[in-house]
Every structure is written in structure tokens, then in C-alpha cells.
Amino acid sequence: MRLAKAKYPDEKRKLVEDALHRFFPEKDKYPDVIYGAMNHSLFSGGKRFRPVLNLLVAEVFDSDIDKFLPTACAIEYIHTYSLIHDDLPAIDNDDLRRGTPTCHVMFGEDIAILAGDALFAESFYLVASTQNSADSSRIIRVVNELAFAAGVRGMVSGQVVDIQSSRKRVDSETLHFIHSHKTGCLITAAARAGAILAGASSPDLDKVTEFATQLGLAFQITDDILDVVGETDVIGKRIGSDERHKKATFPSIFGLEEAKKKAKVAVDDAIVALGGLEADTKSLIELAKFVYERNY
């Protein structure tokens, strides 16, 4: 079945972009280099996929989404922090990200480590700030979800296994562990945080979780594919970076065509998971289609 060409929710992306500027810590801008480094990495483009997903999910359960913006921005902080640390010479040693030099290339390794740390801290500062007017017990659950996703049971362990697997032949189980932890956990947490803050019921939260898990899988497969077939000026990082790092990817393990099929299955499964929700999930279906269709 040929899907109709999907459109990215640019109005949500704009909401996030404006809020990121509004919430960026302006005060006490001393020492300026660290604010500069945080700013450089936070505002170097990007689709704002995770906060947009967060807002779209929240909107399914509560249309007044302005109050969810602090959490949406916090999620982008966590994502940006993880990119800065991943790019470090001691880890992936990448010099280009979103079309601009990476944080450590611009500001040095010491400042890049600290800029990542600062963005990570700022994410929790923002979620727990008075600017977040959501219900207290829901905010605490969200802090717990985000910390879980970013921590040793989530992103960190994905990154560690990725490092360990570099230059090795890995099996599909290991590939799945890497992707579901390194990328999947935060995408799932972004969706869950939206549902939790907006007061979704426990069964609805389960459906959102399944949707986001499959969406995250599709996102990672298409990311791997773009690294093979994309163009540097479109995806904003050097093509073939996975190949250079000898990273395990879906195309390298399954081949390009089979990887595309797996992305399609994941997107279809994501959409099926939404079927049980009573609410209007058009925007989430559109986002899932977009993930499959982007750039190829």
C-alpha cells in the first residue's frame, strides 16, 4: 500500500522553537562561554521531533497544550545533551552535527562536557520549575520517566553497548538493544510524558507506549537508512558516518530493502496501536507516516 505523502507538524515545531528561546536561561550569563556552548548546540536546527511528539500526544488528551511546553523543552534539552556527549572525541568523535561543527569542535572538549551536563541539569530544573503548571504528582512521574529513559537503564546503556559493539559483528538482538535504549527510550518517554501530564488513563498510556515504541523503532531504522542513502546537506551530518565508525545498523545487518520493510512494519504497528484510543489521533498517524517517508 502506498502511503500519502505526510507533512511534518511545523506549527508544533514553531511552538517548541519559541518556547526553547523563552525558557533558555538568560540570567547570570557569566561565564558566557558555557551559555554560548549550550546555545550553539540547542539552536543549531533539528526537527524537534521528541518535544513535538510529546505535545502531539498531550494534545490527544488535553487541548490546552501551552502548559506542557516546559516539559517539551526539557526533553529537547536531554536530547541535545546526549548528542553533545555522543559526539565527544572519547566517544563517537564526530565533528559535524546538523550541518554545523559539534560543540567540542567549537568550544573545546572541557566546555562541551560541561555544556552537556548543564543542559541535562536544566531539563530537570525546567520540568520542576514554577513555569510548569501541571499537576504535582504527574510532574514527579515525568521526572522519574525522563531520568529513567536518560539513565543507566536507558540511553546510557544503549550508548555503552554501541561503543562495545563498534568494529564488531553484532547480532540482531544486540542491534535491537542498542537502538531501543539509545534512541527508543527517550522517544517513548517523550510520548509517555505527554500522556501522563495530560492525564491519560492507564490503559491509554499503554497504547501510547506501544505506539511510541514502534515509532521509535521506525525512526531509528530510517535514520540508519538515511546514513546510507541520504545527502550530507539534507541530514546535516556526514553520510556514511555509521560505516566509518563500523557501527551496527539495520541496513548493515539486514540489507537496505529488508530494513525499509522493517520500518514500514513498525510504522504500521504504531498506527495499529493507536486504534484503541477513543480520541482523535490523526496528528499522530500523520507523524508516523512522516517518519517512514522522510527523505527517501
| Contact set with a copy of itself (CB under 8 A) | 25, 27-28, 30-31, 33-35, 38, 85, 88, 90-91, 108-111, 113-114, 116-118, 120-125, 127-129, 136-137, 139-141, 143-144, 146-148, 150-154, 156-157, 159-161, 163-164
CB of 5 or CB of 27, closer to a copy of itself = 27
Task: Give CA–CA dist 274/179, Å, rounded.
Answer: 22
Distance CA 103, CA 73 (A): 19
44, 99 in Cβ contact below 8 A?
yes
Cβ–Cβ under 8 Å, residues 195 and 205: yes
Considering the complex, what minimum distance in angstroms separates the CB of residue 92 from a copy of itself? 9
Q: Position of cell 517523550? A: 190
Q: Is 76 helix (H, G, I), strand (E, B) or coil?
A: helix
In angstroms, give the least distance from the CB of 132 to a copy of itself. 8
CB of 144 to a copy of itself, least distance (A): 4
Helix (H) or strand (E) holding 101: strand 100-101
Q: Count H helices, E strands: the chain?
A: 16, 2
Name the minimum Å distance from CB 154 to a copy of itself. 8
The upper half-sphere exposure of residue 187, i.e. CA atoms within 13 Å in the direction of its Cβ, equals: 22
**Residue among 72 and 218 whose Cβ is closer to a copy of itself:** 72
**CB of 42: closest distance to a copy of itself in angstroms?**
12
SS3 content of the chain, % helix, strand, coil (to 5): 70, 0, 30
CB of 235 to a copy of itself, least distance (A): 24
* 243's grid cell: 560505516
The total of other beta-carbon atoms located within 10 Å of residue 209's CB is 16
Considering beta carbons, is residue 59 or 94 the nearer one to a copy of itself? 94
Of 209 and 283, CB closest to a copy of itself: 209
* DSSP secondary structure code for residue 67 in this structure: G
Residue placing its CB nearer to a copy of itself in the complex, 37 or 225: 37
Cell of 262: 522493517
Q: Using an 8 Å Cβ cutoff, are 238 and 232 in contact?
A: yes
CB hemisphere CA count around 96 (13 angstroms):
11
**How far, in Å, CA of 112 to CA of 105, rounded?**
9
The residue among 88 and 265 lying less far from a copy of itself, judged by its C-beta, is 88
- Least CB distance to a copy of itself at residue 11 (A): 30
Nearer Cβ to a copy of itself (36/236): 36
Taking the complex as a whole, how short is the minimal distance between the CB of residue 2 and a copy of itself, in angstroms?
41
Q: Which is nearer to a copy of itself, 91 or 279 (CB)?
A: 91
